[in-house]
A = this chain, B = another copy of it.
Amino acid sequence: MVKLTDVAAKAGCSVTTVSRVINNYGYISQKTRKKVHEAMKELNYQPNSVARSLQGKKTKLIGLIFPDVSNPFFGELVSKIEDRLFKHGYKTILCNAGNDKEKERTYLQMLMANQVDGIIAGAHNLGIEEYQRTGLPIVSFDRKLSDNIPIVSADNFKGGSLATQELYNHGARHIYFVGNPTLDGHPTQKRLLGYKETIEELKLTEHIHPVIFNETLALKEMAIRDLLENHKVDGIVASDDLTALLILNISHDLGIHIPEDLKIIGFDGSKVVRDFEPRLSTIVQPIPSIAQLLVKLLEKRIDNPTEELDNYTYYLPVELLKRESSGN
């Protein structure tokens, strides 16, 4: 490993001078600066960031805690966040926490031990205290961790409402919400609330058919099959796109025609689903904006940890993508 002293030797100057060039302080002549830069280039020198960190410099490492990048939505979100972090000079430590509380806890410990500059948290296993205790700058996606941790979300409530209204507009009168029933604080809860409120406004009866996000595929399918076979339903607000796809597929199996017999709207609108399932109507979360805002807020916290933010909750606008499955 080539080190500072090697560069100094090559450039024919002292380590202090090289350090002055790298960290840009004190007096340095253009001539020396150039010489040092040349030496660094020739030796392909990279300051050892481990040593720099120990000296108190920032590590430029950010921990990303999300459920699982194999889910297209989180995959895309993580991808966008990573991209923005990179542009701002940060490196991403990926932590797929799944539903594993213990894993998430271990990750948190590990991120602290690695002196990360901050954390973007999108998984939802742990309570408030553990995140608080890190003493690190944190921003959260889609869930309240504590009073002084900013949350970025899509406007889930509005999404739930929009979807319900759209189904109604296309003639549906027996509209079900299919997905996680009200789990305290879970983001899909707001979608459900949006559904509920709109159902009430429309003077319809609300129907909630639980399909748990973490369940196995077979169990989810059973629940959906039960719904479609045994209930009078002509419209479905799904809590997420994958659930919507499942409903689409099972409807097909059962000979239910979409959208004539049944109209469906999903939620999330990741690019993959939008591009490769062009029949599915969905509420699109603005993933790039979410990523951008998360990184912006985090950087603000890092650069100025004590400053109070003017806002701790951010709802980004969702968009209704009208496709065939909802009757368009």
Contacts and interface: CB of A to CB of B under 8 A. Distances in A.
Interface of A: 44, 46-51, 53-54, 59, 61, 64, 68-72, 75-76, 78-80, 82-83, 86, 91-96, 103, 109-110, 112-115, 133, 217, 242, 245-246, 249, 270-272, 275-278
Contact of A94 (B44, B94, B109): B94
Contacts of A68: 79
Contacts of A75: 69-72, 75
A217 B70 contact: no
B115 A96 contact: no
Contact of A96 (B82, B245, B249): B82
Nearest to A270: B70
A57 to B, nearest CB: 10
For the complex of A and B, the 5 pairs showing the least CB-CB separation, nearest first, are A75-B75, A70-B76, A46-B113, A94-B94, A70-B79
B93 A94 contact: yes
A221 to B, nearest CB: 10
Contacts of A70: 72, 75-76, 78-80, 270-272
Contacts of A79: 68-70, 96
A93 B109 CA distance: 16
Given A79-B96, A92-B94, A276 B48 contact: no
Contact of A114 (B50, B96, B133): B50
Contact of A72 (B64, B245, B272): B272
Contact of A276 (B46, B78, B246): B246
A113 to B, nearest CB: 4
A46 B93 contact: no
9 contacts: A47-B113, A49-B115, A50-B114, A54-B54, A61-B114, A72-B75, A75-B75, A91-B93, A242-B276
Nearest to A80: B70
A51 B113 CA distance: 10
A51 B276 CA distance: 48
Nearest to A276: B245
Contact of A91 (B78, B114, B278): B114
Nearest to A244: B276
A68 to B, nearest CB: 6
Nearest to A248: B276
Given A72-B70, A76-B70, A50 B46 contact: no
A145 to B, nearest CB: 19
A91 B271 CA distance: 28
A275 B271 CA distance: 18
A120 to B, nearest CB: 12
Given A48-B113, A50-B50, A92 B93 contact: yes
B54 A83 contact: no
Given A69-B75, A94-B92, A50 B115 contact: yes
A64 B82 CA distance: 12
Nearest to A75: B75
